[in-house]
């Protein structure tokens, strides 16, 4: 068997690209979600954002801060998933195992956002976080093993 190709004809790569696209889009949407609170409440973080209209300059609105923390959490977890997942694809994993990794990560990232933004009590957010975290660890171990010399 040859080296895995980075094309959509490689089923593992195609599935990875699909799920990576979902979580990257979700991460980008968090910016809009934050703006959804900022604009109507006129809560901006930089003076050039509000001009002479004189809105509040507070940065401690609880809903805005919750959306920002959720977005930051995505950046801390989705970017490693995309990088580790890319290298994981190159290890030539079994399609079923790879698909499970990708689906678990994407599903639990979406769940993490829902429970974070709608203030579902713990341990729901922690569970959603740690499933994704351990998916990344599992793929990283596979990458490290494949690259050992």
Can you tell me the distance from the alpha carbon of 27 to that of 24, in angstroms, rounded to the nearest whole number? 5
Catalogue all structural domains in the chain, each as residue range(s) with its CATH number: 11-147 (1.20.120.550)
pLDDT for 127:
97
Per-residue CA distances from 32 to 64, 71, 103 (Å): 11, 10, 24
**What DSSP line would sit under 89-148, residue for residue?**
HHT---HHHHHHHHHHHHHHHHHHHHHHHTTPPTTHHHHHHHHHHHHHHHHHHHHHHHH-
pLDDT for 57:
57
Q: With H, G, I as helix, E, B as strand and everything else as coil, classify residue 49.
A: helix
pLDDT for 42:
77
Residue 55 tokens, joined: 């809105």
pLDDT for 55:
56
pLDDT for 66:
92
Enter the DSSP assignment of 4. Answer: P
pLDDT for 8:
92
Per-residue CA distances from 141 to 35, 96, 134 (Å): 38, 17, 10
Query: Can you give the pLDDT of all 149 residues of the chain as single tens digits?
Result: 566 788 899 999 999 999 999 999 999 999 998 888 888 877 877 777 666 665 555 557 888 889 999 999 999 999 999 999 999 999 999 999 999 999 999 999 999 999 999 999 999 999 999 999 999 999 999 999 998 87
């Amino acid at each position: 068997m040859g080296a895995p190709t980075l094309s959509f004809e490689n089923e593992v790569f195609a599935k990875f690209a699909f799920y990576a696209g979902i979580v990257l889009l979700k991460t980008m949407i968090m910016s809009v979600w934050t703006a959804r609170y900022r604009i109507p409440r006129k809560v901006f973080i930089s003076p050039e954002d509000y001009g002479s209209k004189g809105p509040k300059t507070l940065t401690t609105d609880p809903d805005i801060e919750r959306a920002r923390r959720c977005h930051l959490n995505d950046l801390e977890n989705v970017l490693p998933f995309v990088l580790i997942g890319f290298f994981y694809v190159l290890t030539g994993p079994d399609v079923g195992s790879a698909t499970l990794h990708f689906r678990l990560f994407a599903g639990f990232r979406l769940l993490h956002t829902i429970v974070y933004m709608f203030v579902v009590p713990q341990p729901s957010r922690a569970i959603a976080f740690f499933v994704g975290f351990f998916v990344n660890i599992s793929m990283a171990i596979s990458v490290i093993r494949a690259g050992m010399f």
